[in-house]
Chains A and B, each alone.
Chain A
Amino acid sequence: QLQLQESGPGLVKPSETLSLTCIVSGASISSSSYYWGWIRQPPGKGLEWIGSIYYSGSTDHNPSLKSRVTMSVDTSKNQFSLKLRSVTAADTAVYYCARDQWLVHVGGPFDYWGQGTLVTVSS
């Protein structure tokens, strides 16, 4: 059974870099059929796609966040990571990692999700 688990600091200071890792178990991240994505949800609000990465390192991002986002993949550890620079309070959210089926475009549907991790941006 495929499982995804996010890990990283729950508190980040304004202007610093948010760093999260998603560990994938139960399937190889090197599958040619899927991208691996990040989605976030501010408290009490809706969903926002951050970006998705292929096992080769190819990425696609939400243009609204692209200049601040870096994603990477480590196939040897079966995990992928997210870095979001220059964070503000507006970046406070639950961050989810998910498997991206990319049927036509990268960006969904997302068929397996991690449980999510709350990241608060505050001094």
Chain B
Amino acid sequence: QSVLTQPPSASGSPGQRVTISCSGSSSNIGSNTVHWYQQLPGTAPKLLISSNNLRPSGVPDRFSGSKSGTSASLAISGLQSEDEADYYCAAWDDNLNTVVFGGGTKLTVL
């Protein structure tokens, strides 16, 4: 049972917009920034979004992040087949004194 809750799966057709949610509490998302990681099959995670909505160099602007209250979202527009991956949210938890991850969302491009 992960501290941050993500839907186990999401899907969309090429070109569509998909949103992945990440729900937490006042001790994590509610008071700290959220980061998102993309993990392509068989590879290490890659930082996709940091500090709620910042894209590291090289990340396409099709990827965007947002946060409101104790929830955060990752949006992917213009979905492409290479976006098929697992996506994880993460945030520091002030009560647990550790970084907590969501359980991950497996994105399928139909």
Residue A43 at the chain B interface, CB threshold 8 Å: no
Is there an interface contact between B56 and A110, defined as CB atoms closer than 8 Å? no
Is there an interface contact between A49 and B50, defined as CB atoms closer than 8 Å? no
Q: Residue of A at shortest CB range from B47?
A: A111
Residue A104 at the chain B interface, CB threshold 8 Å: yes
Q: Which of B47, B56, B88 contacts A47 (CB 8 A)?
A: B88
Interface size, chain B (Cβ < 8 Å): 24
Residue A9 at the chain B interface, CB threshold 8 Å: no
Is there an interface contact between A110 and B47, defined as CB atoms closer than 8 Å? yes
Residue B62 at the chain A interface, CB threshold 8 Å: no
Residues in A neighbouring B35, C-beta threshold 8 A: 108-109
Q: Which of A47, A62, A96 contacts B90 (CB 8 A)?
A: A47
Residues of A in contact with B, size category = 20 to 34
Is there an interface contact between B45 and A107, defined as CB atoms closer than 8 Å? no
Residue B103 at the chain A interface, CB threshold 8 Å: yes
Residue B24 at the chain A interface, CB threshold 8 Å: no
**A residues whose Cβ falls under 8 Å from a Cβ of B:** 39, 46-49, 62-64, 96, 101, 103-105, 107-111, 113-116
**B residues whose Cβ falls under 8 Å from a Cβ of A:** 2, 32-33, 35, 37, 43-47, 50-51, 56, 88, 90, 92, 96-99, 101-104
